Amino acid sequence: MAATLFRKVWDLHSVRTLPNGQTQLYIGLHLVHEVTSPQAFADLRARGWRVRAPERTFATVDHIVPTLAQRRPFLDLVAEEMTAALERNCREHRIPLFGLDSGSQGIVHVIGPELGLTQPGMTIACGDSHTSTHGAFGALAFGIGTSQVRDVLASQCVAMSPLRVRRVDVRGRLAPGVYAKDVILTIIGRLGVKGGAGFAYEYGGEVVDRMSMDERMTLCNMSIEGGARAGYVNPDATTIDSLRGRPYAPSRDEFDEAARWWRTMASDPGAPYDDVVTIDGTAIAPTVTWGINPGQSVPVDGRVPDPMAATGAERDGVAEALAFMSFDPDQPIAGTRIDVAFIGSCTNARLSDLREAARIVSGHRVARHVRALVVPGSQAVCTAAEREGLDEIFRQAGFEWRAAGCSMCLAMNSDRLDGREICASSSNRNFKGRQGSPTGRTLLMSPAMVAAAAVAGEVVDVRAWLPAAPAGVERRL
């Protein structure tokens, strides 16, 4: 019988149905970081338990590490303590740790795919909401809480309820200056931040088929912002090519056999979906959030809403967001003055993101009143970018070039907004207080849009900033 990837991977990893109706699901890969693991390891120790499958568990430091002065001990005592605790726990349980001196450290959702740990057909868990990123490879990847981190450490299993599957078909082709970030903001804007509750999103259609793995990761990363528990793309030739030669991918002898199996995990033609949504990719414009959740967005040439045009509870939500952001009803989003430009996070700090942003800023200067920083998603991204001279392009334009980490995505280190600052950000959440100041304001957009805003000092349409591509060369990230 035709089945979706979700159904195939779920069934393959299902251990048993629990008395409460949930499934005990085996986890093929557990990714661990310094912030959500200390309590889980402490619980394990208190019960005298060991890590069940250290060979399926990998750790890194990303959330709280400084991106400026990385000499140990860190000046921030909490960061030092959390990092030291993870090092102790990894040593005690023989878990590989990609620390600051490894050359492979970085945001957990950047390094997993980079190292080839993330593979099609897997179940993946991590104590971070944006674990859905790994679904780009045709895996079922779930963000879990600290008590579930303990469960997975102890049993390599997690208790979960099965999900329904919504196919999200993005048809047509994207125009130049329109990126995966614009696609996912458009999807969330249309389906709502709670629209995916109880669903896994399967992304497909011509736009997704043509996307690079970096773009697919951006798409899947923000599934959780649309309320979906997971998001994935069926594995195809792009997926398989991207895995070849990665350190933890199957070796050359075993690769072709693994690739054949990965392809069988893709949803079958005629597979049943619980819902199907079609999005016209040709109609998507560069998109910017105006509010306090990622569903509150408009095309860059659009206007923020007027609460009087909304109904019921929605009216209050719009009014609250506009008041927090200090927008007038029906105000154009373009021209909004920014104070900070942040290119980083597990959504948009991969090499192709930095390349595209550098293409925009090359030869320009960041506006005088803007503080701009680039934080690569991993040490490998940082090294590759430096090899290409991207760091110099950013520095010459007036950006700060930082070391890898989560940084201003959630501001657990000293990278944070001050007071009412407005930040053009390539990250994934615009919640109140997310970037470190309770009153700070976040405008989510693509890294190319952030780059253009940094130079212009205000929100602008990146389509007017694109350098002309050489004749016959198609844009492909």
Which residues of this protein are in contact with ligand SF4, per CB under 6 A? 62-63, 107-109, 128, 130, 345-346, 406, 409-410, 428
How many angstroms separate the CA atoms of 149 and 41, rounded?
A: 9
Strands 14-17 and 23-26 turn out to be antiparallel
In the complex, minimum distance from the CB of residue 143 to ligand SF4, in angstroms, rounded to a whole number:
9
Provide the CB-side half-sphere exposure for 477 (13 A, CA).
32
Q: How is residue 408 written in tokens?
A: 């201003």
For residues 217 and 203, is the Cβ–Cβ distance under 8 A? no
Amino acid residing at 93: H
In the complex, minimum distance from the CB of residue 294 to ligand SF4, in angstroms, rounded to a whole number:
12
Residue 404 or 455: the one with the smaller Cβ distance to ligand SF4 is 404
Which helix (H) or strand (E) covers residue 17, if one does?
Answer: strand 14-17
For residues 37 and 154, is the Cβ–Cβ distance under 8 A? no
In the complex, minimum distance from the CB of residue 398 to ligand SF4, in angstroms, rounded to a whole number:
23
In the complex, minimum distance from the CB of residue 461 to ligand SF4, in angstroms, rounded to a whole number:
26
For residues 385 and 391, is the Cβ–Cβ distance under 8 A? yes
In the complex, minimum distance from the CB of residue 475 to ligand SF4, in angstroms, rounded to a whole number:
25
Residue 89 or 345: the one with the smaller Cβ distance to ligand SF4 is 345
For residues 426 and 347, is the Cβ–Cβ distance under 8 A? yes
In the complex, minimum distance from the CB of residue 233 to ligand SF4, in angstroms, rounded to a whole number:
19
In the complex, minimum distance from the CB of residue 107 to ligand SF4, in angstroms, rounded to a whole number:
5
Q: How is residue 151 written in tokens?
A: 């469960």
In the complex, minimum distance from the CB of residue 428 to ligand SF4, in angstroms, rounded to a whole number:
6
SS3 content of the chain, % helix, strand, coil (to 5): 40, 20, 45
In the complex, minimum distance from the CB of residue 469 to ligand SF4, in angstroms, rounded to a whole number:
30
Residue 4 or 104: the one with the smaller Cβ distance to ligand SF4 is 104
Give the residue carrying structure tokens 């469960």: 151
Q: 247: which residues sit within 8 A by CB, 6+ positions away?
A: 115, 116
Positive or negative torsion for Cα 126, 130, 134, 140? positive
Q: 85: which residues sit within 8 A by CB, 6+ positions away?
A: 34, 37, 38, 41
In the complex, minimum distance from the CB of residue 36 to ligand SF4, in angstroms, rounded to a whole number:
10
Q: How is residue 287 written in tokens?
A: 């998109």
Residue 343 or 406: the one with the smaller Cβ distance to ligand SF4 is 406
Residue 115 or 346: the one with the smaller Cβ distance to ligand SF4 is 346
Residue 33 or 167: the one with the smaller Cβ distance to ligand SF4 is 33
**Backbone dihedral angles phi then psi of residue 58, each to the nearest 5 degrees:** -135, 145
Residue 100 or 410: the one with the smaller Cβ distance to ligand SF4 is 410
Residue 234 or 297: the one with the smaller Cβ distance to ligand SF4 is 297
How many angstroms separate the CA atoms of 372 and 356, rounded?
A: 16
> Which of 269, 329, 324 has its CA nearest to residue 298?
329
Q: How is residue 91 written in tokens?
A: 């040593």
For residues 275 and 187, is the Cβ–Cβ distance under 8 A? no
Q: How is residue 397 written in tokens?
A: 């334009």
In the complex, minimum distance from the CB of residue 213 to ligand SF4, in angstroms, rounded to a whole number:
17
Residue 34 or 169: the one with the smaller Cβ distance to ligand SF4 is 34
Give the residue carrying structure tokens 């407005």: 422
